[in-house]
Amino acid sequence: MADPMTVQNQTSSPAAEQDIHCPLCDYNLRGLAEARCPECGGQFSWDELRDPAKRLHPYLFEHHPERNLWSFWKTAINGIMPRRFWATLNPVQPSNPRRLVFYFMIYAIAASLSVVVDYANDCQLLYLQTLSTRSQLQAQIKASLMFGAVDNFSNRILQQYGSLDKYLDVIEPLPPSIGFFKEAAGFRSYMSFYRRGWMETSLPRNAPFLMLAWLWPLTAALTLMMLRATMRRAKVRAAHLFRVTIYTADVMIWLGLCQLAIDVVWLARGLTATTPLMPGTPSPRWMGISSLFGGIGTLIAMLMMMYRLTIAIRKYLRFRHAAATAFAVQMIFALVVAKLMFVFAGY
């Protein structure tokens, strides 16, 4: 015979009267005395599951298509304080995947603007250096030809390329040559690796930052999909995982805008330069901030995102061991970045 108290609790619970689905995994909670999902382990209150007013977020970009600009900046600004932000957002509030992707695209593109300006800086510096190198080579070879001292090197140049200008266009290309822009992509970045002897290759200096802005949300969500099974939360819908990672990674817009301001000043300084700035040449101290996209800047960004992800996992997904899970996500992403960099280098 059933316990009278249990029967009374089930009869008086809201789930005994109507179908109420778990917002994390969509399991039907009808007939349960406690608002705790037996399928995914999510724990809620009956009030937040039943009250329609709690389904609309006050400013979230997903929920306010009538005020796109206001809701975007409101979401991005409040995301700076992750504890407060994730206290207002919960799985009961429905997700809009299309607007979530739109939000991701906006902040990823905005964060990438600084990379474009920084690349323009590299093009400007490489252009000045290339002009200097071409003028030196022209002077040396023309001097040897003028005095009749045509050595084997100069002779090979004329035989293979036909003229000095064609030779210079190959080894020291200028715009609009594609070779020039390829070289500018790794102008100030180098990596040494061992492959039957030590080799050095140039790499895009901002590649890790771009991966954080564009690749991190997808990599982190896929990692959480793998980890949720080990935490007995395998039924949690993927939409919630992408929601967590996208709103965690929007911190990149602020890092990108800060760097954009610095790079614009750097570009203005470079456009007025008349002499080349060689790689490794000391620059003013205040310009050292431009290393934000370097190793230490990327490390700081990853630490910030790991902290934000920890808060989101604990408050929104309600997983146990939130800090350990966030750390595992970052380690897997770091391995993915390292692998892609080595593949790019031809290792």
pLDDT at 242: 94
pLDDT in tens, 269-285: 766 665 554 444 444 44
- Cross-strand bridge partners of residue 120: none
- Segment holding 137, helix H or strand E: helix 97-146
The answer on pLDDT for 199 being more than 60 is no
Size (the chain), residues: 347
Question: What does the alpha-carbon distance between residue 194 and residue 205 come to, in Å, rounded to a whole number?
Answer: 20
Q: How many CB atoms lie within 10 A of CB 87?
A: 12
pLDDT at 202: 58
Identify which has the larger pLDDT, 338 or 76.
76
Instruction: Kindly report the pTM of this predicted structure.
Output: 0.77
Question: What does the alpha-carbon distance between residue 311 and residue 150 come to, in Å, rounded to a whole number?
Answer: 71
18: left (phi over 0), alpha (psi -120 to 50) or beta: beta
pLDDT at 221: 93
Tokens describing residue 152: 């084997």
The answer on pLDDT for 66 being more than 90 is yes
Burial class (CB within 10 angstroms; exposed 0-12, middle 13-18, buried 19+) of 311: buried
Which residue from 262, 247, 240 is spatially nearest to 317, judged by alpha carbons? 240
The angle, 0 to 180 degrees and rounded to 10, between the axes of the packed helices 68-78 and 97-146 is 80
Amino acid found at 31:
G
Three-state secondary structure call for residue 167? helix
Cβ proximity of 30 and 18 under 8 Å: yes
Identify which has the larger pLDDT, 13 or 214.
214
Angle at 136 between CA 132 and CA 142, to 5 degrees: 140
Question: What does the alpha-carbon distance between residue 296 and residue 282 come to, in Å, rounded to a whole number?
Answer: 19
pLDDT at 6: 43
* Separation in Å, CA 269 to CA 287, 332, 337: 11, 39, 32
The answer on pLDDT for 29 being more than 90 is no
DSSP 93: S
DSSP 172: S
User: Which of 61-65, 226-230, 245-249, 331-335 bottoms out in mean pLDDT, i.e. has the lowest?
Assistant: 226-230
Angle at 178 between CA 173 and CA 182, to 5 degrees: 85
Identify which has the larger pLDDT, 206 or 230.
206
The answer on pLDDT for 131 being more than 90 is no
DSSP 21: B
DSSP 81: S
Which residue from 43, 17, 41, 48 is spatially nearest to 31, judged by alpha carbons? 17
Cβ proximity of 341 and 203 under 8 Å: yes
Share of the chain above pLDDT 70, in %: 73
The answer on pLDDT for 341 being more than 70 is yes
pLDDT in tens, 137-175: 777 777 766 655 555 666 777 777 777 778 888 888 888
Q: How many CB atoms lie within 10 A of CB 228?
A: 20
Question: What does the alpha-carbon distance between residue 94 and residue 84 come to, in Å, rounded to a whole number?
Answer: 19
pLDDT in tens, 241-256: 999 999 999 999 988 8
The predicted model gives 185-190 an average pLDDT of 64
What dihedral angle (degrees, nearest 10) is formed by the CA atoms of 149, 153, 158, 161?
Answer: -160
